[in-house]
Structure 1
């Protein structure tokens, strides 16, 4: 199964190096799952952290 980054369109293939595959970030949004590749996740870390519930901090 190929996973696609919702921001840049990069593809994660099933045979990709496991450490790189684990670096992808998933988020649930309106009942679906969206994926961010390593590069996009790093670029948008503040956006991701901003959606965490206050009790997390």
Structure 2
């Protein structure tokens, strides 16, 4: 795990605290447009703000 990049939100740039609680870590969301694409991470705040866009499968460039 030490060789991996820290997880950061693609919308706001917030970095996930690796030493935080498990509940905080579970609140982060990841998505991919197509299989094989790099994952895009969203912090809990951005995931809540864009929940309708995510559920409607609206491409992220329209958020």
TM score, norm. by length of structure 1: 0.81
* Number of positions where the alignment pairs a residue of Structure 1 with one of Structure 2: 51
Unaligned regions of 5+ residues in structure 1, if any? 52-57
More strand by share: 1
Aligned-pair RMSD on alpha carbons? 1.2
Moved over 6 A (4+): none
Unaligned regions of 5+ residues in structure 2, if any? 58-63
More helix by share: 1
